[in-house]
Structure 1
């Protein structure tokens, strides 16, 4: 089974860029020039350290998917960027230190949590999403633990 990677919704990024507020929460967002690479949750590429500006804000990784929220900090480029849309491919510049894959069934039931090295991410996603009991997988940073994106079956 192939997979599809879902970044945050473009409307979320646009709202936070326009208002500098966390959509759905109203918390203030912040603008910064990072000292190290930071992952943009829309294009799923790096926000270049010392060169590009990021906007950090509170985001619910379960937004529009589950009833109970799990908010945490995420980043987007301050500039406009193109949403990630490649089915069957994991973003090339994401997860260099590995990732944690949290496989869920509807109802926010965590079934499997697996730490995966960068080269093994596509196979691990294919395996987890091929299981009939798994509905979606949250991809998190293996170092910071923060939410990066969601993977779903490609069909």
Structure 2
């Protein structure tokens, strides 16, 4: 089965850039020059280390789940400080991300976990297609295999 990559909503990035606050929480956002491989959660590209500035803020990864969850689970995420466009090649995993592998968490409605899988870069698209092909999977969360941070949501199509 196919899948669709879902970055954070563009309105979230715009709000953070305009207010320097985390949407829904009001926590201060912070700005710094990227160190290491920090992916932007909107364009799903690398924020170039030592060159580009990132904005870090508190975000609930379940905010975009098929049904809005009652209990938030916030954590830190990044976007480019500069304007960027949402990821467009939604039928495949972003080519510059996942170099150290990813953790795929498959869920059904109600935030009920079904399976977690640690996947190396070459197998990401295949693993996403397999998980999204399961009839009991409503969505998959992609997280960094090294830091555990939320990267994006994936929906079956």
TM-score w.r.t. length of structure 1: 0.97
CA contact (8 A) 2:6 2:90 kept: no
1:122 and 2:112 are equivalent in the alignment: no
2:5 is paired with a residue of what secondary structure? strand
Q: What is the CA–CA distance in structure 2 between the aligned matches of 1:84 and 1:43, rounded to whole Å?
A: 4
Q: What is the CA–CA distance in structure 1 between the aligned matches of 2:33 and 2:86, rounded to whole Å?
A: 21
1:125 is paired with a residue of what secondary structure? helix
CA contact (8 A) 1:2 1:87 kept: no
1:84 is paired with a residue of what secondary structure? coil
> What number of residue pairs does the alignment pair up?
154
TM-score w.r.t. length of structure 2: 0.96
Mind listing any 5+ residue stretches in structure 1 that lack a counterpart? none
* Aligned residues: CA RMSD: 0.8
Aligned residue among 141, 145, 156 for 1:142: 145
Q: What is the CA–CA distance in structure 2 between the aligned matches of 1:38 and 1:131, rounded to whole Å?
A: 31
Aligned residue among 91, 109, 113 for 2:112: 109
Deviations 1:96-140 (A, max 9, x none): 100000000000000000000000000000000100000000000
1:26 is paired with a residue of what secondary structure? coil
Aligned residue among 145, 151, 155 for 2:154: 151
Q: What is the CA–CA distance in structure 2 between the aligned matches of 1:110 and 1:19, rounded to whole Å?
A: 34
Q: What is the CA–CA distance in structure 2 between the aligned matches of 1:97 and 1:64, rounded to whole Å?
A: 25
* Runs ≥4 residues deviating over 3 A: none
